[in-house]
Amino acid sequence: MKTHPMMTVTAVSTMERHQLPDVLTIGDNPPTHYKNWTEMLDKEEIDLLFVSSIPTYHFEMVKYAMKKGINVVCEKPFTMNSNESKELIKLSNQYNKKVVIDFEWRYLPARQKVKELIHHNAIGNIIHFEYHISNPKYQILQSMKIGWMGERQKFGGMLGALGTHMIDCLRWLVRDEIETLNGLVYTHVSKGAGEHRDADDAFFVHGKMKRNSTFSIQFLSGINHGFGSNLKIFGSLGTITLSNDNKLCFGEANKELTEITVRKEGSTPSHLSMEASAYYPAFYPFIGKVYNYIEYDKVDSDLPTILDGHVNQVVIDRILSN
């Protein structure tokens, strides 16, 4: 956020044990550091709040902020269930406040190119959408504590952490809504480092969209070897594949798939951490669109709003109820 010329970080609230990172404290006018989020919202003049707490607090934090006249960007999963997200839609209308969901991966250059190909009918009518990720975390899950991420009642697990992004990617790229689905969430590594876990480390979802295309979304982490992220979109006129969000291939019917070079906008600032650098190509354009939405009421067609958050939550509820 500090890299964006129109964003100023004025205050941060963290848990008691956390300190502000050096990147925030170095230089003039460092943000005020609070250990109580309600105190921060009561005392500070804030235009936009980023809610990055664990999911159990999202509903009350977003609600409190809107009542204070503050717009919000909220992490995912948006809420604990769709009843909460529906209530927040009502409140956003009541208080005339904007809420954006942090599905920033829509703005990755490679995904924007995929969207462009689909939009220009390069592959024709969508037949099937497949998004599979395998991330080898078996040894880590056996040997390290994961805390609330292993607790179902706190919305830990990978369906909330990554499944929400994958479902959003489906809805956004296919430009359609899910009609029927079957879902399974599973915990392959239920014990490790003295913890007993009931939150999922794997999930499998498949079904049909309203315009009759089908989909398959899958994630595995309790394994020893992974094959990364693989997105495949099959159409009546061709096919698109995207591997690890960087290798994009396209092929017309009866022709071989060929790699497409994706042009990147600008370069990642060298002072960012490795983790921040991974998020930067998507998050930087995302917050630019957020700014335009808050300041000028200009809604980018790709910006994930509170309505996207609610529909996503409805889908998650359906998966968990299977």
- pLDDT tens-place string over residues 106-140: 999 999 999 999 999 999 999 999 999 999 999 99
Of the candidates 163, 125, 141, 119, the one whose C-alpha atom is nearest the C-alpha of residue 224 is 141
Model confidence at 100: pLDDT above 90: yes
In a domain, 206, yes or no: yes
Pairing of strands 247-252, 191-192: unpaired
In a domain, 224, yes or no: yes
In a domain, 246, yes or no: yes
Distances (CA, A) of 322 to 27, 86, 150, 219: 52, 21, 20, 17
Confidence of residue 26 (pLDDT cuts 50, 70, 90): confident
Distances (CA, A) of 185 to 47, 74, 229, 316: 38, 24, 19, 11
In a domain, 37, yes or no: no
Of the candidates 213, 202, 210, 44, the one whose C-alpha atom is nearest the C-alpha of residue 126 is 213
In a domain, 311, yes or no: no
The pTM of this model reads: 0.96
**pLDDT at res. 21:** 82
Model confidence at 17: pLDDT above 90: no
**What is the total count of domains within the chain?**
1
Task: Count the helices and strands in the chain (H runs, E runs).
Answer: 10, 15
In a domain, 15, yes or no: no
- Can you give the residue range of the structural domain that contains 175? 105-268
In a domain, 159, yes or no: yes
Do the beta carbons of residue 290 and residue 71 sit within 8 Å?
no
Report d(CA 70, CA 292) in Å as an integer. 15
Do the beta carbons of residue 127 and residue 216 sit within 8 Å?
no
Of the candidates 112, 150, 143, 108, the one whose C-alpha atom is nearest the C-alpha of residue 282 is 108
Q: What is the pLDDT of residues 284-301, one digit of tens each?
A: 999 999 999 999 999 999
Q: In 144-238, where does DSSP find H-type helix?
A: 158, 164-174
Q: Tokens for 93?
A: 């209308």
Share the mean pLDDT of the chain: 96
Of the candidates 52, 44, 229, the one whose C-alpha atom is nearest the C-alpha of residue 136 is 229
- Residues whose CB falls within 8 Å of the CB of residue 279, separated by 6 or more in sequence, listed in order: 104
Q: What is the CATH number of the domain that holds 125?
A: 3.30.360.10
In a domain, 120, yes or no: yes
